[in-house]
């Protein structure tokens, strides 16, 4: 029997679960993790990791690297822009 971490649809389900968590807990961290899991799932699904053996350490390394790259890219694309600070003129309790 194949280990679950080497099955492509398990990574896709993990990506969808992490994206759903991001909807309910908007921490902007889970979105990068979801993209990383989706990258691993797609790479396994298309057989792109066959040349490296697709062992657990390689999958986790690919997941970690793609998650960090996705988080940085998403932060630059849809994150807080420079100069986008809210200035309050009056207090709500006044």
Residue pair 44/7 in contact by the 8 Å Cβ criterion: yes
Predicted local distance difference test score (pLDDT) of residue 28: 80
Q: What is the DSSP string of 28-44?
A: SSHHHHHHHHHHHHHHH
Tokens 């389900």 -> residue: 13
Distance in angstroms (rounded) separating the CA atoms of residues 7 and 5: 6
**14-29 mean pLDDT:** 91
29-79 pLDDT tens trace: 899 999 999 999 999 888 887 766 668 888 899 999 999 999 999 888 887
**This prediction's pTM:** 0.79
């Amino acid at each position: 029997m194949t280990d679950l971490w080497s099955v492509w649809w398990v990574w896709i389900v993990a990506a969808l679960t992490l994206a759903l968590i991001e909807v309910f807990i908007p921490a902007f961290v889970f979105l990068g993790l979801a993209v990383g899991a989706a990258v691993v799932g797609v790479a396994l699904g298309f057989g792109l990791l066959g040349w490296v053996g697709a062992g657990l350490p390689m999958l986790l390394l690919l997941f970690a690297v793609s998650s960090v790259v996705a988080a940085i890219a998403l932060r630059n694309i849809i994150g807080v822009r420079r100069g986008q600070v809210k200035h309050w003129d009056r207090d709500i309790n006044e």
